[in-house]
């Protein structure tokens, strides 16, 4: 498929901005678009299991447009924030409208903010990693950069990983586990890095210290430039953004476990320790995040060349539909529990 298919990833902020601009009950339409319209299209559209030849992969890696499609999300996310904050600051809005605006902005932060930050956070180029960190700021989740790269990818599908949902664990319990657990683990990882590098707490290399300063500065700036109402909206939208991230984390590894070896260590991460989805629209709008098995199998691979492993556990639905199902635990359990390999239960 053509590279331009990834323009679909901009459909969420485009619809979101229109919803925020229209206000009223239209401010809720992005929820309909993401969790009803897209799942319906995913149900209709065929699955795409195809992978790429070595020649195709080489061409995709050389094509810098794939990178620029990610970089543009910096302008989209921060542009959406400024646009929304000005509307909230200058317009008399009813409570239900503010709630709709918060939900719409939060979805944008989750899809085009944290999701893109995740991709850029794995890159080797400093500039790209900086962009990734900036995309995490509005969702109050800069610590994700440290915990995800130095914690989650090492401990995925083990009890040591707060971002792995246990068998029969509901989403709402997982939210608490993941949000609190990843933050505390990020500090533990940073402390260990400081000890290894013999750096002080206030060192320029202490990311968690500077992430904290950056997050506080962001919130103070919202209050200083836009006022209390915008500060509340900014905080609330960020919470929606990181809860959407953790909902995706929930469905990516739900119930999957790595075996503990006689040595006391866990077996290496394979393509069997993440759920895969080949539903085409979810793949496109999330920059191939749904091919998560391959991402964990080879975390340095860029999104445009991620592949399908047939031996990976397969989600029956795409990510948007799976997220909706996860909001209703009994329904989620009834569909997913029977799909978990017996040896992992």
pLDDT digit string, tens, across residues 229-280? 999 999 999 999 999 999 999 999 999 999 999 998 999 999 999 999 999 9
Residues 129-140: what's their mean pLDDT? 98
Residues 286-292: what's their mean pLDDT? 95
Contacts of 207 (CB under 8 A, 6+ apart): 145, 146, 190
pLDDT at residue 203, rounded to an integer: 86
Tokens linked to 139: 């969702």
Does residue 345 have a pLDDT over 80? no
Alpha carbon distance 177, 258 (integer Å): 19
Nearest 5°: phi and psi at 136?
Answer: -85, -20
pLDDT in tens, 62-82: 999 999 999 999 999 999 999
pLDDT at residue 2, rounded to an integer: 82
Tell me what percent of the residues of the chain surpass a pLDDT of 90.
90
pLDDT at residue 202, rounded to an integer: 85
Does residue 150 have a pLDDT over 90? yes
DSSP 3: G
pLDDT in tens, 155-167: 999 999 999 999 9
The helix or strand, by DSSP H or E, that contains position 225, with its residue range, turns out to be helix 207-226
pTM score of the predicted model: 0.95
pLDDT at residue 1, rounded to an integer: 54
Alpha carbon distance 131, 135 (integer Å): 6
Average pLDDT, the chain: 95
Tell me what percent of the residues of the chain surpass a pLDDT of 70.
100
Does residue 93 have a pLDDT over 70? yes
Categorize the per-residue pLDDT at 12 as very low, low, confident or very high, splitting at 50, 70 and 90: very high
Residues 91-102: what's their mean pLDDT? 96
Tokens linked to 36: 């009803």
């Amino acid at each position: 498929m053509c590279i331009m298919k990834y323009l679909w990833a901009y459909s969420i902020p485009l619809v979101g901005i229109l919803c925020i601009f229209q206000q009223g009950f239209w401010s809720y339409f992005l929820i309909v678009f993401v969790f009803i319209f897209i799942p319906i299209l995913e149900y209709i559209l065929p699955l795409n299991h195809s992978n790429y030849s070595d020649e195709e992969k080489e061409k995709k890696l050389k094509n810098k447009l794939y990178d620029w499609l990610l970089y543009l999300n910096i302008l989209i996310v921060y542009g959406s924030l400024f646009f929304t904050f000005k509307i909230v600051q200058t317009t008399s809005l009813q409570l239900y409208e503010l709630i709709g605006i918060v939900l719409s902005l939060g979805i944008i932060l989750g899809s085009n903010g944290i999701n893109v930050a995740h991709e850029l956070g794995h890159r080797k180029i400093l500039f790209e990693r900086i962009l990734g960190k900036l995309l995490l700021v509005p969702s109050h989740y800069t610590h994700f950069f440290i915990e995800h790269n130095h914690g989650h990818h090492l401990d995925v599908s083990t009890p040591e990983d707060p971002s792995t949902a246990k068998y029969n664990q509901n989403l709402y319990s997982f939210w608490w586990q993941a949000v609190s657990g990843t933050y505390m683990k990020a500090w533990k990882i940073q402390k260990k890095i400081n000890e290894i590098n013999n750096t002080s707490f206030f060192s320029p290399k202490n990311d968690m210290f500077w992430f904290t300063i950056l997050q506080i500065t962001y919130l103070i700036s919202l209050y200083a430039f836009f006022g209390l109402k915008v500060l509340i909206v900014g905080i609330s939208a960020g919470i929606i953004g990181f809860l959407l991230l953790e909902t995706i984390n929930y469905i990516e590894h739900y119930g999957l476990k790595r075996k503990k070896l006689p040595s006391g260590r866990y077996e290496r991460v394979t393509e069997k320790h993440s759920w895969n989805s080949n539903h085409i629209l979810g793949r496109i709008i999330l920059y191939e995040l749904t091919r998560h098995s391959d991402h964990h199998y080879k975390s340095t691979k860029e999104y445009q060349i991620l592949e399908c492993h047939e031996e990976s556990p397969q989600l029956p639905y795409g990510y948007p539909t799976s997220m909706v199902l996860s909001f209703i635990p009994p329904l989620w359990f009834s569909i997913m529990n029977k799909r978990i390999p017996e040896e992992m239960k």
